[in-house]
């Protein structure tokens, strides 16, 4: 996910502002650190360890999400990126309901938003996404978002002027004295972009996490310390069509430890 840097700068300003400003604009925020260890990745080296910082907040006129991955390749380095790399997304959304102080609810839709995302990383990876977003009222879910993006990339590389559909969800399941949290997202690029540099193929990236609230079970405080798995399925990873000569379909899982603060 991504967006204008103005929204991220505003979020940073809110975090450092005085109590009066924060109480007027910032409604809530959450930060976390995650460690992942997994095998059987494709395109890049098979064994990877990842450290992820995530920030999410809601403010007077919308919400923001940001993450930054630091990825370490165990064993054989990536031929283009070396022994490690980084990747991140900045994803602000502007709420029509909050901005105009009126309800935009209809059917299962609770709010209508302008959704943006800026994707960045090492090498030629920058992309800019924008389009309509919807907050949905889905029974049983903590939240369910559905964002529709037009993708645009730097320079003339493949991947511009195509549509991406991104649902984001969270579901809590009570288990014994604690909870299991199932949350995540799916990026579904639904068409291809053809230009002088080749073809960016339709691809689907399904990335849920299944996490046990260990902190709650140990009476250390709920929604703080989680352990579990992150599942990663990516058909035609990076928009590269999978073939017998070059496999790009990814189907793997990683061990996970996540701490919220």
* DSSP per-residue string spanning 73-122: E-SSPBTTTBTEEEEEEEEEEEEHHHHHTS---BTTEEEEEEEEEEEEES
Residue 54's CATH number = 2.40.230.20
261 found inside a domain: no
In the chain, % of residues over pLDDT 90: 79
Q: What is the pTM of this model?
A: 0.87
Q: How far apart are CA 106 and CA 112, in angstroms?
A: 10
Distances (CA, A) of 64 to 117, 131, 142, 178, 200: 10, 15, 17, 28, 28
63 found inside a domain: yes
- Residue labelled with tokens 């996970």: 256
**Residue 204: its pLDDT value, please?**
98
> What are the phi and psi torsion angles at 226 (to 5°)?
-120, 150
155 found inside a domain: yes
Q: How many domains does the chain have?
A: 1
pLDDT per residue over 145-176, tens digit each? 999 999 998 766 666 789 999 999 999 999 99
- Containing structural domain, residue 232: 5-256
Q: For residue 238, what is the DSSP state?
A: G
Beta bridge partners of 232: 252
pLDDT per residue over 189-203, tens digit each? 997 766 545 678 999
180 found inside a domain: yes
105 found inside a domain: yes
- The residue among 223, 211, 3 whose CA lies nearest residue 91 is 3
Handedness of CA 99, 105, 108, 112 (dihedral sign): negative
Run of H or E including 165: strand 162-175
Beta bridge partners of 227: 212, 257
Q: How far apart are CA 210 and CA 223, in angstroms?
A: 13
Q: Within a 13 Å sphere around the CA of 90, how many CA atoms are in the beta-carbon half?
A: 16
Average of per-residue pLDDT across 48-52 = 98
- pLDDT level of residue 22 (50, 70, 90 thresholds): low
């Amino acid at each position: 996910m991504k967006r204008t840097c103005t929204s991220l700068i505003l979020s940073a300003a809110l975090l450092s502002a005085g109590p009066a400003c924060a109480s007027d604009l910032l409604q809530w925020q959450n930060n976390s650190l995650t460690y992942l260890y997994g095998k059987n990745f494709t395109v890049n080296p098979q064994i990877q360890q990842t450290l992820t910082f995530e920030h999410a907040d809601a403010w007077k006129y919308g919400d923001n999400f940001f993450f930054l991955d630091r990825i370490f390749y165990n064993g054989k380095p990536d031929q283009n990126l070396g022994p490690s790399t980084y990747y991140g997304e900045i994803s602000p959304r502007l709420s029509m309901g909050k901005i105009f102080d009126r309800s935009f609810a209809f059917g299962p839709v609770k709010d209508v938003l302008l959704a943006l995302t800026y994707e960045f990383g090492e090498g030629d990876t920058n992309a800019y996404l924008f389009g309509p977003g919807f907050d949905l009222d889905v029974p049983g879910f903590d939240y369910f978002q559905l964002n529709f993006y037009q993708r645009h990339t730097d320079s003339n590389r493949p991947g511009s002027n195509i549509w991406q559909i991104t649902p984001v969800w969270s579901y809590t399941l009570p288990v014994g004295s604690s909870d299991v949290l199932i949350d995540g997202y799916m990026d579904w690029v639904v068409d291809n972009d053809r230009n002088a540099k080749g073809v960016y193929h339709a691809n689907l990236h399904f990335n849920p996490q299944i996490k046990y609230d260990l902190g709650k079970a140990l009476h250390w405080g709920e929604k703080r310390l989680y352990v579990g798995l992150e599942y990663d399925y990516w058909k035609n990873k990076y928009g590269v069509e999978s073939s017998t000569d070059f496999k790009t379909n990814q189907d793997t899982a990683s061990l996970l430890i996540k701490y919220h603060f």
